[in-house]
Structure 1
Amino acid sequence: MRFSIRHYPLKTRMVLILGLIALLQTGALGLFALHHLSQSLQEQMGERALHVAKTIAAMPQIINAVDARDSSELQPLASLLARTSQARFVVIGDADGLRLAHPMPERLGLSMSEDDDDVLSPTLHQGLAQVTRAEGSLGRSMRARAPIWSIDGNRIIGIVSVGYLLDSVEALVDRYRLTLALVILAAFAFSVLTAIWFAGHFKKAIFGLEPEEIGRLFQERDATLQSVREGIIAINSQGQITTVNQAACRMLSLPQHTALIGTPIQQLFPDTRMLEVLTSDTPQFDQEVRVGDLQLIVNRLPLHQGNKVTGVVSSFRRKDELDLLSRKLTRIRQYADSLRSQAHEYSNKLHTIAGLIQIGATDEALNLIGQETRDHQALIHLLVEAVPDPILAGCLLGKYNRARELGLMLTIDPDSQMRDLPPELPREKLVSIIGNLLDNAFEATLSHGSTQPVITLSMTDLGDDLIFEIEDQGPGIPAETQQQIFAKGVTSKSEPGHGLGLHLVSTQLEQLGGTLTIEPGTSAGTRITIYIPKHPGGMHG
């Protein structure tokens, strides 16, 4: 089975790695220190041996005894000098390299070349003092040899060899080696404790996740960012881009997203409000922004680390996509309202007809069926002739049924005509305006308790404007409050959820470039007239 450190948790890995690094570092440094110490001690021992050897070779007593080949004098003198200088041995030989003094008396008279002939020659023949490390008759030693010159200094009459055994060096190195082992163990223990503390702190900072989990989460996050249809751009506290997905690059015609990382956001978008969010720490939602030819809906949120704002993320989508979705939802809602109203209305009619049949009033039941058929046929015929647009026609048919359901009558002027609807006019905004005004007219009429609960609608497409006129039988709107009713949240009702319809009408009408007037009704109530230009920017009444 192959060993892999990735199988272990991050804490174990950090302990192993830091401990191993400390072990290798202290071990390598220790070996280097021991080697350097051994070399230094041997060099110092060699220099000392050389100094002692030269000193002995220059002593007149030694020179005279060597010249006379007097071993009896040299032997005790060499022993004394060895003890005095703390040398392991002092060996003295004549000009031929024969021992005249030696710690082992049985070796007197024997040649010193048995220890090292290559070193004797330069010393005896050339007068060179040398330091060598060799295995001699007394063991491994650091020895120094110096020539003994005659009194007149004209000839070499002998040689002095002073040696210090390396056992003391090795013993000293052994003591340091033990100290080094203890230091290595202490460093290893310190590294392990440090690794445990640091790993715990690091794990806390990364929410207890393993590196592989972080990598997987990063890949998931990147895949998520690249898969969403919304554009996403994030900046750090310096205003530099840290994240941008492919949807943002495609939407804004930016370079490859990886090339934008680190770019100041103002370099790409000088008028960006992301820096405003960065300094104010206030999120911004559903802001309409124009970038070139694009109209975007933008959200901006600050990013926090503790109590500090560390960046801003902005998500945005093209407004025309949201408008398309809104258009589809508006159509579905209009169809649903129309079907619900028709189902409720016909359910009431069917119950009434069933009751008439049960009591035997068949003639009244037939009259009611005929009246219902005639009313719907007349309305459908009018809508087909006057309003060929299916969305607007469906909206009006739904509101007609809703009025019947509420006990009201929605009357459409038979002279109405709305055939010239511009193709570019957003149908969802048009039906939203008409639908909200009719709903408001229904509520006003019901709340007033009018004896003639009739709401009238007339429309014309003659000229440059589309004109819709809606008149109710409500209590009317005082002139001093006519402008206030279009403010968001303003309503005469106490129930929550009101006060949005007329505000929406005002907003959408402004987007279409239209206007609105409020007048008293013919007999009572209020008449609201709206003017929507067929071509925005043109003149309209």
Structure 2
Amino acid sequence: MQTTDTVVPVPGDRRVPRRRGIAFSTRMMALQLGVVVLVVVLTAGIYGWLSYQRLVAEIGSKALAVAQSVAVEDAVQDSLAAAATAGTTPANAALRDGAVQRLAEALRDRTDSLFVVITDRRGKRWSHPDPTRLGETVSTSPEEALAGREVTTLETGTLGPSVRAKVPVWAPDGRTVVGEVSVGFSTDDVAEALAGALPPILAVAALAVVTGGTGTALLSRRLRSDTLGLEPAEVGELVQDQAVVLYGVSEGVIGVGEDGRVTICNDRARRLLGLTDPAGRTLADLGLPPRVLALLDAADDAARPGVQVVAGGSVLIVTAKRVTRGGRKLGWVVVVRDRTDVEALSRQLDAVGALSTALRAQRHEFANRLHAISGFLRIGRHAEATEYLDEALRSGPLKYPVDFAGTLEDPFLQAFLGAKAMRSAEMGVPLRLGGATLIEGRVSDPQDVTTVLGNLVDNAVTAAVRGMAGERWAEVELLSDAATLYVTVSDSGDGLAGADAEELFAEGYSTAAGARDQAGRGEGFGLSLSRQIARSLGGDLWVLSPGDAGGPGAVFCARLPGVLDAGADASAGAGTGSGTEEGA
């Protein structure tokens, strides 16, 4: 896995120009602040209205209590009862000096009320703050009180709007209503009381606005931080681009947050790594090799090559890049690439290249032999020409690079092993077929056979080159059983040198630690991949013999079910094989 820093482009660098105008966070802050202010104003207004109603009710209760106390005064009851019996109302002059007026005015002064008005049952005033109005009919209806009911109301009379209470005045015998008492307090008193309650209300409202504004500002700041300063339209574009990138590329992509947990994983990565529901899990929980996890813990500036892993019978290359923006670390992007097809194509290309080289050599050899025969004929040596031609027909135009290749009839195996033999011969290791080799049928699964057989042969040739034996060699023995192919590969190397046979098949294990080929590919994956392929077919790959120091080396066996077409025409295979042998 390669760990480098990748800087996320700022919105202005995107292919879609950034929208101008007021930022979304600012508009959201203004909207939220407006909502807070509106709610506070409505709440304060409702609270003020309820306070006004409460004050009106309190003052009305006070007026009612005063009116009730006046209505039970003996002087009031006796005077109004006498007037009711006489059916007349005294003159204004008599009322001014009467006991009812004096009592009402004294009570008005003590209670600081707006008025204390006493009327008889005809609605004529017996008391009033303005003596000139004595004897006149009251300005508001006394019907409720004269009907024997106590009421509290907000009305406007000769002295202006007031909260007033009206109670009936009963005769001394308590059977007849002889008048009413109306006590009122000015609405200015209510306003003054409400004004006293307004400062706390306004203070609470101001505190609510400040608190709401502060919370809105913090929320807006947090939103800008969480969205990395992007506008909603830009976030939507990023989501669209993310879907295009994640699900449109052929590589597997895994997003890992700073906490090491997977935030997103595309379908390709799930298939390559065999993952199910990886979101929210760590890479360790996903079963990735330790060296992949170790790379995420490396320093940010550490440059490391991609890591090869084997998963599901495939060789995968895993790389990673750290993502930062504005100095803030956002996590990693892990990219998984399938290299299995590339490896197979490389082997096939190697085989084609080796065979083309062999064909060029054969062409030159064939031309040389034709020149020799032509020379014999020109000088009249017909017997020598015939003998030379018979010898050429018996040995072929060019000796096939694999010993005992005549026992192998499948053309694919002949071509593949021929290519391998060319390369091993260049390394000074002859490649030969075992004498017990016998194949009936044709190869139907070249890719799996190529991978398993090629890895085993390459390992055998490498072991022979590194071995201490005087004579170097590598041997392949192939046997068929219906559709199953058995492969045995041995060499002249120094064997496994006491290594655990099972440890050889561990991913990344190599007897030459750190060795890498010219393409930058590390050793240690061939046996692991080959065993996975064999087992995926229902077969297996194992160590038959660990070998000895100084040779012979280790012997590996593989069983590959279903890779042969048992119904293929053997004669066709033989004919093709012979032609390939001679043509090789």
TM-score, normalised via structure 2 length: 0.58
Change (3 A) 1:411 1:52: closer
Task: Tell whether 2:41 aligns with 1:27.
Answer: yes
Q: Matches of 2:21 and 2:168 in 1, distance apart?
A: 70
Pair 1:205–1:389, CA change in 2 (3 A): same
Whole-Å separation in 2 of the counterparts to 1:136 and 1:462: 124
**Alpha-carbon distance in structure 1 between the residues aligned to 2:308 and 2:514:** 28
Q: Deviations over 1:298-344 (max 9, x none)?
A: 9999xxxxxxxxxxx99999xxx87555433322344456668999x
Provide the rounded CA distance (Å) in 2 between the counterparts of 1:252 and 1:337.
34
Aligned residue number for residue 121 of structure 1: 143
Query: What amino acid is the match of 1:143?
Result: R
Aligned to 1:144: 165
CA distance in structure 2 between the aligned counterparts of 1:100 and 1:494, rounded to whole angstroms = 121
Pair 215,175 (structure 1): closer, same or farther in 2 beyond 3 Å: farther
Query: Residue deviations 1:397-423, cap 9 Å, x none?
Result: 4455546766x5848689896654654
CA distance in structure 2 between the aligned counterparts of 1:155 and 1:535, rounded to whole angstroms = 122
Listed as ranges, the matches of 1:25-104 within 5 Å are 25-66=39-80, 67=82, 69=90, 70-71=94-95, 72-73=97-98, 74-104=100-130
Residues in 2 aligned to 1:534 and 1:77: alpha-carbon distance in whole angstroms: 126
> Secondary structure, in 3 states, of the residue corresponding to 2:123?
coil
Instruction: Give the deviation of 1:139 after TM superposition.
Output: 0.8
Superposed, 1:375-394 pairs within 5 Å as: 377-380=397-400, 387-394=408-415
Q: Note the 1:328-339 alignment, pairs <5 A.
A: 328-336=345-353
Bigger drift between 241-250 and 417-426 goes to 241-250
1:430 equivalent in structure 2: 453
Alpha-carbon shift at residue 188 of structure 1 (Å): 1.3
Indicate how the Cα distance of structure 1 residues 7 and 175 shifts in structure 2: closer, same or farther if over 3 A, else same: farther
180, 186, 210: which one aligns with 1:159: 180
Q: Identity percentage over the alignment?
A: 21
Q: Say whether the 8 Å CA contact 2:115–2:185 is kept in structure 1.
A: yes
Distance change (3 Å), C-alpha of 1:137 and 1:399:
same
Question: Which residue, 133, 158, 176 being the options, matches 2:154?
Answer: 133
Task: Pick the aligned partner of 2:207 from 170, 180, 186.
Answer: 186
Alpha-carbon distance, 1:163 to partner: 1.3
Aligned to 2:567: none
**Counterpart secondary structure, 2:136:** coil
**Pairing 1:268-417 to 2, within 5 Å after superposition:** 274=285, 326-336=343-353, 377-380=397-400, 387-399=408-420, 401-402=422-423, 408=428, 410=430
**1:3 paired residue number:** none
Q: Deviations over 1:57-77 (max 9, x none)?
A: 222233444446440224344
Comparing 509-518 with 37-46, which one deviates more in the overlay? 509-518
Deviation at 1:14, TM superposition (A): 4.6
| Counterpart code for 1:87 | S
Q: CA deviation at 1:86?
A: 0.9
Tell me if structure 2 keeps the 8 A contact 1:56–1:160: yes
One-letter identity of the residue aligned with 1:91 = V
> Which segments of 5 or more consecutive residues in structure 2 lack a partner in the other structure?
1-19, 84-89, 296-306, 320-332, 366-387, 535-539, 563-584
Q: List per-residue Cα deviations over 1:260-279 (Å, max 9, x = no partner).
A: 899x99xxxxxx983889xx
- Alpha-carbon distance in structure 1 between the residues aligned to 2:176 and 2:490: 143
User: Whole-Å Cα distance in 1 between the matches of residues 21 and 514 of structure 2?
Assistant: 66
CA 1:288–1:456: 2 relative to 1, 3 Å:
closer
Q: What amino acid maps onto 2:63 in structure 1? A: A
The alpha carbon displacement at 1:136 in A equals 0.8
Residue 49 and residue 481 in structure 1: after superposition, are their counterparts in 2 closer, same or farther (change >3 A)? closer
2 CA distance for matches of 1:330 and 1:131?
107
Decide whether aligned partners of structure 1 residues 382 and 178 sit closer, same or farther in structure 2, where only a CA change above 3 A counts.
closer
Cα distance change, pair 186–83 in 1 and its aligned pair in 2 (3 A):
same
Assess, with a 3 A threshold, how the Cα gap between structure 1 residues 205 and 251 changes in structure 2: closer, same or farther.
Answer: closer
8 Å contact kept, 1:50–1:145: yes
Letter of the structure 1 residue corresponding to residue 45 of structure 2: L
Preserved CA contact (<8 Å) 1:92 1:100: yes
Name the aligned partner's letter for residue 191 of structure 1. G
Which letter does structure 2 place at the counterpart of 1:86? Answer: D
Q: CA deviation at 1:88?
A: 0.5
| Distance (whole Å) between structure 1 residues aligned to residue 171 and residue 221 of structure 2 | 79
Q: Residue 29 of structure 2 aligns to a residue in which SS?
A: helix
Match of 2:13 in 1: none
8 A contact 2:514–2:522 mirrored in 1 = no
Equivalent pair of 2:476/2:490 in contact (CA under 8 Å): yes
Conservation of the 8 A alpha-carbon contact between 1:467 and 1:529: no
Q: How does 1:439-458 map to 2 (within 5 A)?
A: 439-442=462-465
Superposed counterparts of 1:217-236, under 5 Å: 217-218=238-239, 220-221=241-242, 226=247
8 Å contact from structure 1 (residues 289, 297) kept in 2: yes
Structure-1-length-normalised TM-score: 0.62
Query: 2:68–2:167: 8 Å Cα contact kept in structure 1?
Result: yes
Question: Given the superposition, is the C-alpha separation of residues 298 and 411 from structure 1 closer, same or farther in structure 2, using an over 3 Å criterion?
Answer: closer
CA distance in 2, matches of 1:483, 1:503: 16
Matched letter for residue 431 of structure 1? G
Residue identity in the other structure for 1:377: P
Verify the 8 A CA contact 1:288 1:298 in the aligned structure 2.
Answer: yes
Distance change in 2, residues 1:235/1:495 (3 Å) = closer
Residue by residue, what CA displacement relative to the aligned partner does 1:105-142 show, whole Å, maximum 9, x if unpaired?
33222211xx223xx22323x33332222111111111
Could you tell me which amino acid in structure 2 is paired with residue 157 of structure 1?
V
Matched residues in 2 for 1:497 and 1:533: separation? 25
How many Å separate the matches in 2 of 1:289 and 1:507? 8
Once the two structures are superposed, residues 71-98 of structure 1 have per-residue CA deviations (whole angstroms, 9 ceiling, x without a partner) of: 0224344322211121101222233212
Q: How far is the alpha carbon of 1:214 from its aligned partner?
A: 4.7
Aligned-partner Cα distance in 1 for 2:219–2:528: 63
Count of matched residue pairs:
457
Q: Distance in 2 between matches of 1:252 and 1:196?
A: 45
Task: Find the counterpart in structure 2 of residue 515 from structure 1.
Answer: 544
- SS of 1:116's partner is coil
Question: Is contact 1:283-1:300 (8 Å) kept?
Answer: no
**Higher helix proportion (structure 1 or 2):** 1
**Cα pair 2:36 2:213 within 8 Å, conserved:** no
Structure 1 pair 335–157 and aligned structure 2 pair: CA distance change class (3 A)? same
Tell me the alpha carbon deviations over residues 450-497 of structure 1, each in whole angstroms, 9 at most, x when there is no partner: 8xxx866666657876566656xxxx74x8947689964435x99877
Deviation, structure 1 residue 11: 3.7
Q: Following the alignment from structure 1 to structure 2, what is the Cα–Cα distance between the partners of residues 150 and 503? A: 119
Q: Cα RMSD (Å) of the superposition?
A: 5.9
Determine the C-alpha separation between the residues in 2 that align with 1:286 and 1:501: 10
Tell me which amino acid in the other structure corresponds to 1:75.
Q
Q: Within 2, Cα distance between the matches of 1:316 and 1:494?
A: 22
- In the other structure, the counterpart of 1:16 is 30
- Code of the residue aligned with 2:449 in structure 1: it is P
Q: Secondary structure at the match of 2:398?
A: helix
Shift of 1:185: 3.1
What amino acid sits opposite 2:344 in the alignment? R
In 2: Cα distance, 1:168 partner to 1:208 partner? 56
Q: How far has the Cα of 1:173 moved from its partner?
A: 2.5
Shift in alpha-carbon separation, 1:335–1:79, aligned structure 2, 3 A: same
